[in-house]
Amino acid sequence: MMGNGWAMGWTAIIAAGLVAVSGLSAREVHGPGFELVVIDSLDKPDGPFWFVPHDNEAAAWRVGLEALQAHGGRLVAVENAGRRMWPAPCPVSCDPNRSLGANPYGDAVIRLMSPGQPVVGLHTNAPGRRGLGAGAGTTWADARDRNVWMPRALAGFADGDALAIVAGTRPKSDAAPPCLPNFMMGGAPMLYEEVRDGGDGSMSNDLALRQPERTYVALEARHGDDDSLRALLAILMACPAYAQP
């Protein structure tokens, strides 16, 4: 997890007990072609399942660890030496967030989820085409996109690169994500992915197909934009599906 801002490797952190002293415990899960870091809250084990699929998205990692400490649950992150993509050859896709499904990697991730545990995906990307900068990102909120719910007033999310993402097998017109009212009231856009033809191997698509009863929301912002991720997270944690008792 060196790419996500740690000064030492995970093996040394776990051996030294540096995670456990802050109320967390950490371990590694290995499988064919993948490594996962699994961090549990010792004080609040019943919180959400936090998932960071890319090892080059440091803001997602930082905010995920903050969220784990504040709200509990389990954080699972792909360990890949600070790289976004796995080195080829790859059995499914070299993108860890396009490789989930009925395979050893996807099954390992789902086995780490507790029954009924809500899931939060944490992502960062390059700016989208409407945003400032290079415009290389492929996910952003556009009011002209029929797959996006836009609030009447954007509260600090006007660049379109900070948004929530949900998925389902129904058309958007028939979908009713449980946290949609919170994001509309909070001034943040929400993108809906209609999953078809086996999905694209992402966490959102895999859960929509294999565990449609499980609540899932992804939060996405620009690389390095911790503040927007935190703002989206604050909206999400006010949603009854995620709010702590």
Is residue 8 scored above 80 in pLDDT?
no
β pairing state of 74-78 and 34-41 = antiparallel
Q: Tell me if 126 is assigned to some domain.
A: yes
- Three-class SS state of 64: helix
Q: Tell me if 241 is assigned to some domain.
A: no
Summarize the confidence of residues 112-120 as an average pLDDT: 97
Model pLDDT, residue 22:
61
Q: Tell me if 39 is assigned to some domain.
A: yes
Rounded-to-integer distance, Cα 54 and Cα 124, Å: 9
Q: Which residue has the higher pLDDT, 170 or 138?
A: 170
Q: Tell me if 197 is assigned to some domain.
A: yes
Q: Tell me if 156 is assigned to some domain.
A: yes
Summarize the confidence of residues 131-152 as an average pLDDT: 67
Model pLDDT, residue 245:
65
- The model's pLDDT over 176-203, given as tens digits with 9 standing for 90+, comes to 999 999 999 999 999 999 999 889 999 9
Q: Which residue has the higher pLDDT, 21 or 74?
A: 74
What's the CATH code of the domain at 216? 3.40.630
Rounded-to-integer distance, Cα 242 and Cα 201, Å: 24
**Domain of residue 54, residue span:** 2-236
- Three-class SS state of 172: helix
Q: How many domains does the chain have?
A: 1
Q: Grade residue 160 by pLDDT with cuts at 50, 70 and 90.
A: confident
Rounded-to-integer distance, Cα 241 and Cα 76, Å: 20
Q: Tell me if 79 is assigned to some domain.
A: yes
- Three-class SS state of 75: strand
Mean pLDDT of the residues in the chain:
86
Is residue 23 scored above 90 in pLDDT?
no
- Give the least confident one: 4-13, 53-62, 103-112, 135-144: 4-13
Model pLDDT, residue 149:
93
Q: Which residue has the higher pLDDT, 2 or 125?
A: 125
Summarize the confidence of residues 16-22 as an average pLDDT: 53
Q: Tell me if 7 is assigned to some domain.
A: yes
Q: Tell me if 223 is assigned to some domain.
A: yes
Model pLDDT, residue 20:
54
Side-chain half-sphere exposure of 172, counting CA atoms within 13 A: 13
Cβ density class 53-69: b for 16+ within 10 Å, e for less: bbbbbbbbbbbbbebbb
Residue 185 to residues 74, 141, 153, 224, Cα–Cα distance (Å) = 28, 16, 9, 25
Tokens, residue 72? 């509990």
